[in-house]
Structure 1
């Protein structure tokens, strides 16, 4: 489920979460988010498709992915930009600590319960692990991204909304799959290549949407959500 979970989570982040947040309120982007982060995500996704063209992610390929994450983070710290927006600082108090921990536990427990119940139900209907991973498990593991992105969008922190999701997708591909591939070679079914191609198309579409006027409009958000709903229906219908 490892590869399918990452692929499905990335599609879910860009389709349901970014699309859903944009459908509620259009999301503004920045040139850096488009040309640096968006194009890098597209490049990494294409590289992953190349690595998995033989249906296996080797130790060496996992090492290259993890190295890519290190270089990317190093570049971000080296090229760090000054803070553009100044907001009044709020003093943190000790009462914020239990609230933070409660929030983390609630999100983690909710995601775990969702995944456990949904996987059990799906397996009882004979649905493959790849489809489970690319849909249900992906949705459960994307719960933290959904909570952060929705809160940021409602507060008007649009750069956090888009940046959170692009960054999460990059970490999934470079960090999670990279480390997993180093620990043990990962294999996928030939049918899984279709989801990888869908991910490439989704990333390309999101980059185009972010570039047009440097915003993701409400109409584009609805379009992204609709595409993902169709994909889910197709995935489960193909297993029927």
Structure 2
């Protein structure tokens, strides 16, 4: 009976998150155009920060409780899920256009950060100092986005914004976050019924649950032909997860993880590199490449439970 209840909650949360994401993407796009800000920058910052809130809440709480495998596993698994299932799945629905700015500035920064995290966690511990380094790099990145905008991003046609658009932005974000919260709680219960480890829970079920906002917002953006916002949201969310969430978590408490972390971080590094290659081929992530990313994510998911 408890399993049926949790499954029902998960399904209801999917609908709530999907509706909230529609409001979020529509209102963010209108606000961006009205302020003369490109949708790519909005996706990389506002939407990425907002949709990373579930990861932030789960990982910070886990870090404070000393459950390092869930704190780190959630972020590593979420980033892999974003690039495999979500980016790949969105590309299957419609090929996603990319740009030199997104690859050189944002994609390589994500790859750099992934290598840094792999180096920091090779001894299976993320110290407070290392957490501070990660968070400092995020501040520098955001400062760079603000100070040095590319010409492509400054040429934005002003659009019309209504008074209710900010309210829809806040309401949509609230629906996404509340839905994700209850989805994660139910997903954790389902995973425990299966008797799997904390790392597996963090890197798979919890990661998938906290990635629900990224999936909903990226899918909604792609269906509305806002490809810059769709891809930018995923890359930006992964950047916020890695530098922001783990940075703050590390600052608050030294985090220790199991040996499984090394393998998953190596896998994540290779995944990021592959995505950058796909983004560069013809400046688009094609449907074929989307299928490849989804299959890689699926294989990794199955392997985690073996």
TM-score with structure 2 setting the length: 0.74
Computed over aligned residues only, the root mean square deviation of the Cα atoms, in angstroms, reads: 1.5
Q: Which residue, out of 99, 108, 128, partners 2:177? A: 108
1:194 corresponds to: 263
Q: Could you report, residue by residue, the CA deviation over 1:85-122 in whole angstroms, capped at 9, with x for unpaired residues?
A: 6456223123x455444423322232122211121121
- Name the residue aligned to 2:253: 184
The answer to whether structure 1 residue 27 and structure 2 residue 88 are counterparts is no
Corresponding position: 1:225 with 2:294: yes
Matches within 5 A, 1:19-98: 19-82=88-151, 83=153, 86-87=156-157, 89-94=159-164, 96=165
Matched positions, count: 236
For 1:137 and 1:54, the matched residues in 2 are separated by 24
- Following superposition, the deviation at residue 132 of structure 1 comes to 0.7
Could you report, residue by residue, the CA deviation over 1:2-28 in whole angstroms, capped at 9, with x for unpaired residues?
Answer: 100010111111111111110111001
Distance 1:176 1:81 in 2: 27
What TM-score, normalized to structure 1?
A: 0.93
> Partner of 1:141 in structure 2?
210
Residue 100 to residue 71, structure 1, CA distance change in 2 (3 Å):
closer
Cα-to-partner distance string for 1:17-54 (whole Å, 9 max, x where unaligned): 11111011100110111112111111110110000000
CA distance in structure 1 between the aligned counterparts of 2:275 and 2:134, rounded to whole angstroms: 22
Q: Does the aligned pair in 1 maintain the 2:188–2:206 contact within 8 Å? A: yes
By relative contact order (CA 8 Å, sep 6+), the higher-ranking structure is 1
Q: Give me the whole-angstrom Cα distance separating, in 2, the residues matched to 1:198 and 1:114.
A: 26
For structure 1, the 5+ residue unaligned runs are: none
Aligned equivalents of 2:302, 2:163: Cα separation in 1: 47
Aligned mates of 1:140, 1:103 — CA distance in 2: 17
Q: Alignment partner of 1:44: what SS?
A: helix
Separation (CA, whole Å) in 1 of partners of 2:228 and 2:154: 11
Partner of 2:9: none
Q: Please name the residue that 1:169 is paired with.
A: 238
Q: C-alpha distance in 2, partners of 1:230/1:44? A: 24
